Amino acid sequence: MSISEGGSLSALQIANHGKDRYPTPMANAEKLILEASELAGAISNHERGLCGFGPVHELAGCPPVRSELADAGLCLYALGNKLQIDPIAAMRQLVDNDRRRFG
């Protein structure tokens, strides 16, 4: 597996921290769940006007939402590195092979 930009950024963040605090796939997967929850909380706070960044602004420009999305993404790529699966390649395979229809 070649490491994607997301995988490289995740590895750089771990190196900058000096230690991988979630060294196993299971520990990393559990951390991903926590990060997704924090992202949902940031979105909820934004929607209720509680994000702490002044007057109404777009969701895409909300600093806590951007930060939590970045944390979740880095965590996902760290897990992908541990599993030796590029998340983009896995998503592409799923989309290309998904024949389900809804509605």
CA atoms of 66 and 41, how far apart (whole Å):
12
pLDDT for residue 43: 96
32 secondary structure, DSSP code: H
Reported as a single tens digit per residue, the pLDDT across 49-97 is 998 887 778 999 999 999 999 999 999 999 999 999 999 999 999 999 9
Sign of the alpha-carbon dihedral angle for 25, 30, 33, 38: negative
Which amino acid belongs to residue 96? Answer: D
CA atoms of 80 and 102, how far apart (whole Å):
29
> What are the structural domains, with CATH classification, of the chain?
5-97 (1.10.287)
Kindly state the tokens that stand for 62.
């909300």
Kindly state the tokens that stand for 38.
């924090």
